[in-house]
Chain A
Amino acid sequence: MAKLLDKQRYKCALGAMQTVQAISRAIPILHSGPGCAQKLSDSIGSSGYFSPNIFPCTSINEKDVVFGGAKKLNSTIENALKVIDADLYVVLTGCIPEIVGDDTDEVVSRFADSDKPVIYASTAGFKGNNYKGHEQVIDAIIDQYLEKSDEKEKGLVNIWADVPYQDLFWLGNIRELENLIKELGLIPNTIFGYDRGIENIKKIPKAEFNLLVSPWVSVTNVKKMERKLGIPYLHYPTLPIGAYETSKFLREVGKFAGVDEEKVEDIINKHENYYYYLIERYADMFLETRVMAKQFSVVADAQYALGITKFLVNDLGLAPAKQFVVDDTPKKFQEEIRKEFENLNYGLKAEVSFETDGYKIHEDIRNHDYHGYPLILGSYYEKEVAEELFGHYLNISWPVQDKVVLDDFYVGYTGGIRLIEDIYSVAVQRWN
């Protein structure tokens, strides 16, 4: 049912065009209105080899609404193959063709024999948000492009994480996850970002397992791959940020992959030694800041709300106020995620609210006693309310206007240090 989206924090399913764009040399072909791509893009590194303003688009008009847009879709795909040099063409449907009943599947099937693969994902805006759309695109790849492989590559692990572009740090994060997996002696395989692409997609069926690092996004994808491609999966719900959580992550992945325990501990020791060398040098600053209360709130998708809460509590020793998950997490995942928020060191539990109404979130923040100046990590919308409360504010979730990220990341040991740098770069600007 329609609901009040006040301070909206996600896009519609067609936003999955950004998932396609994150795959090098893959291009979305939009069967949609003329302006959907422009609306769904933001200037956060989307001007790449392809950019939203060059995505082929049927630019549906009034006539197509009445008579159907199949013909236009056909000529758009046909000519996209001629004009644009890509490895993978992904047709995405917007709202209109799905309401008026265009048979997109049939049109796309006409291109089954073309030199380059053309696949199709149903991403009508009314079918869900861009987290859902992201899953639809990966499903389309599994269903329409991949086949089960009897041959497996030893140690090969597919890594899946949250939604590119929606996640400001997607590129840096996935690379750092790769690095961590590599250190365990495994061979990471990811499909997003620089120097990854169609060849990595082809390798997916050969992996020994899928590693999913996300509270809920892509759970359906890895389950589908288990069913269809026979790839088992490890679902690790917490984005590991900082030493405490990253060490936990390495132990669990190591155990799942059968990596020698001693080897895992050696890796952890090496990292933690350096990590705490840095922390030791700055511990006075953390302890003796005169301006920041111990309590914090994160307003973000499940990934960052959970990941940052665990980091700030289990690593930095801060106290969780209410946390807000704003990605419209499907009901069936909420209980599991809630349990993760309640599973913190020293029996601490963080209250979590699954809420998409920004007005209510801000009311909650205003009404909470943070016992001092709070730390608010959230979207650009939280800047004003944080200022109102004399709080410390960091823009870590969409929409983003207060931070430029090229390949920075918050994952892992190094990512934790980066997040600390960002938080205290804000805090040091004040004195009490």
Chain B
Amino acid sequence: MGINLDSSNVATRENRIGSITGYIGSLSDLANQSNCGTLKGCSRCFSQSSTCLSSCALGQLSAIRDIAIIHHGPSGCSVASANAYYLDKVMAKKRGVTNGTVYVGTDVNEKDTIFGSAESLKNIILEVNRRYSPKAIFVASSCTTGIIGEDIDSIVDEVKREINIPIVAVHCEGFKSRIWATGFDISDHAVLSSIVKPPKQKRNTINFKNFYESARPEIIEMFKNFDLKPIFLYCNSTVEELEHISESLATTCICGTLGNYLGNGLEEKYGVPYIRSINPLGIAGFEAWLREIGRVTDRTEAVEQYIAKQREKYIPQIEEVKKELKGLKAVLGMGPGYTFEVSRVLNELGIEVVWALAWHYDRKYENGDVPPSMEYLLENDIDFEASVADQQNYEVMNILNKYKPDLYLSRHPGSTVWAIKNGTPAVYVADEYMIFGYEHTLEFAHSILDSIHNRSFEKNLARRVKLPYTDWWYKQDVDSFLEEGKK
């Protein structure tokens, strides 16, 4: 793949792994085209707002404890600092630790866009260091500072002479990529290139890339069965912890989109195996994932024992609840790290996926393979209509209106509300562990039942509100605004 840790710049997902944001067709067509290399993404002549890659990049980094983020741009770019402050405080409190991370902006103004602000930035870095003595400093660019050519690399090099901690330039101009997940790669790149140290000794740890570590206690307990200790990244990570992730036995992640770059980077640079199975969601996913960890870390026997015990406990319960789910039709919209995984779980539970939207699609992973979740669906003859749309809500609403599913599942803030205004029950699959393992798969099945059994809320609301889309739009084909390569 070629992760170049000598440059502070990361190539975008579009350029690196052929990712796209515009496609409408079927899952099998999408996969076949990916396989034979003919897949070309479409652009749109009308789009609704989506997400900035800097939110993903700096959202990840700002979760690390006791570091500083300096977001060099106008105040709108660094506005994410307010939420980062909140998250850092509540996540640390939940863990019983403290987090002194600071995320500051530089309030770049019109004059700076003309004369540059290298000197101000330098002073801000020094002042932040003086105030907070962080363990590492990440200096991030924005669209504005990127376009005017502010050379943050040189500024970082300059202050490195004065400050003896890792200081990292993070290039996260929002216009660089329509795929916000490129931001995850950017954060991983910053960590890999500036924090992670070469291994000194192997440890019985496994790197676990996730978002908010909600299942942390139970996963620690589970891995005790295999004499493995998970290191959860990056929420509540310390710089010291990150320095040593090259010493782990393997890297795994709860979401392929999130963990792909770090996993491959650690494997390529330090030989830490990256677990490339389907993800631990649902029964098939959990088992395939655990077995792969067992294989890679040489713990197959213990893993099989664990699986057998857990199956005994949960499979009958899951079979029971499946009876009630059978025949339901669902539409889902999520990042690709979840869409094709959750589709599999829905299928497993007897729910028919009528349309799956992925917010983007990676044609291949860093190692050149088609994503395992896709491979699994194809091998098992699971096919449905599919589209790739970077959270284009008007397309989702068009689909919901045409297909009238029993259920809409989504993972991004502000998305489920539109389904319920359409009168469609919605399940917000926000917690990344919501379908993890047997227990949470069972819980997930029950939450679906709870959501469809009482439809009062969406019915009451839908009765009273008008939707913002015109009748004209509902009569159009979903792909009306896609340009080039319509199916």
Contacts and interface: CB of A to CB of B under 8 A. Distances in A.
A binds B: yes
Interface of A: 1-8, 10-15, 27, 30, 32-43, 47, 49-62, 64-65, 72, 75-76, 78-80, 82-86, 94-96, 99-100, 124-129, 356, 359, 380-381, 384, 398-399, 401
Contacts of A56: 46-49
Contacts of A380: 82, 85-86
12 contacts: A2-B112, A5-B104, A10-B75, A12-B77, A53-B391, A58-B47, A75-B45, A75-B46, A79-B45, A99-B113, A99-B144, A399-B85
B82 A1 contact: no
B394 interface: yes
The 9 closest A-B pairs by CB, nearest first: A35-B52, A12-B76, A125-B74, A79-B46, A37-B49, A5-B105, A57-B49, A33-B174, A399-B82
A86 B470 CA distance: 9
A61 to B, nearest CB: 5
A380 B104 CA distance: 15
Nearest to B103: A8
Contact of B107 (A3, A15, A83, A96): A3
Given A2-B107, A38-B50, A95-B74, A61 B175 contact: yes
Contact of A62 (B46, B121, B176, B180): B176
Given A32-B49, A51-B414, A52-B49, 8 more contacts: A10-B75, A13-B76, A35-B55, A38-B49, A38-B50, A60-B143, A83-B469, A99-B148
B387 interface: no
Contacts of B120: 1-3
Interface stretch (B124-132, B194-202, B343-351): B124-132
A6 B415 CA distance: 31
Nearest to B121: A2
Given A35-B54, A125-B144, A8 B49 contact: no
Contacts of A1: 109, 111-112, 117, 120
A361 to B, nearest CB: 13
Contacts of A40: 76, 79
A7 B80 CA distance: 11
A398 to B, nearest CB: 8
B167 to A, nearest CB: 16
Interface string B253-297: 000000000000000000000000000000000000000000000
B109 A2 contact: yes
A240 to B, nearest CB: 29
B133 interface: no
Nearest to B51: A35
Contact of A57 (B48, B113, B415): B48
Interface string B80-91: 111101100100
B96 interface: no
A99 B108 CA distance: 13
Contacts of B109: 1-2, 126-128
B403 interface: no
A316 B143 CA distance: 48
B13 interface: no
Interface of B: 45-55, 72-83, 85-86, 89, 102, 104-113, 117, 120-121, 124, 127-128, 131, 142-144, 147-148, 174-178, 180, 390-391, 393-394, 412-415, 417-418, 465-466, 468-470, 472-473, 481
A3 B89 CA distance: 25
A34 B394 contact: no
B55 A95 contact: no
B51 A2 contact: no
Contacts of B178: 34, 59, 61
A5 B312 CA distance: 56
Contact of A8 (B46, B82, B142): B82
A51 B417 contact: yes
Nearest to B120: A2
A384 to B, nearest CB: 7
A3 to B, nearest CB: 5
Nearest to A384: B89
A128 B109 CA distance: 7
B417 to A, nearest CB: 5
A2 B128 CA distance: 14
Contacts of B78: 5, 8
A2 B49 contact: no
Given A5-B107, A47-B414, A129-B75, A39 B55 contact: yes
Of the listed residues B45, B82, B417, the one surrounded by the most CB atoms of chain A closer than 10 A to its CB is B82
A38 B104 CA distance: 19
Contacts of B391: 53
Nearest to B394: A83
B52 A76 contact: no
B79 A8 contact: yes
B102 A39 contact: no
A127 B417 CA distance: 33
A33 B52 contact: yes
Nearest to B116: A2
Nearest to A15: B76
Nearest to B146: A65
Q: Determine which residue in A30, A43, A129 has the highest number of CB atoms from chain B within 10 A of its CB, and name it.
A: A129
A100 to B, nearest CB: 7
Given A49-B468, A65-B175, A76 B47 contact: yes
A33 B82 contact: no
A13 B79 CA distance: 12
A76 B54 CA distance: 24
Contact of A12 (B72, B75, B415, B469): B75
A126 B53 contact: no
B52 to A, nearest CB: 2
Contacts of A12: 74-77, 79
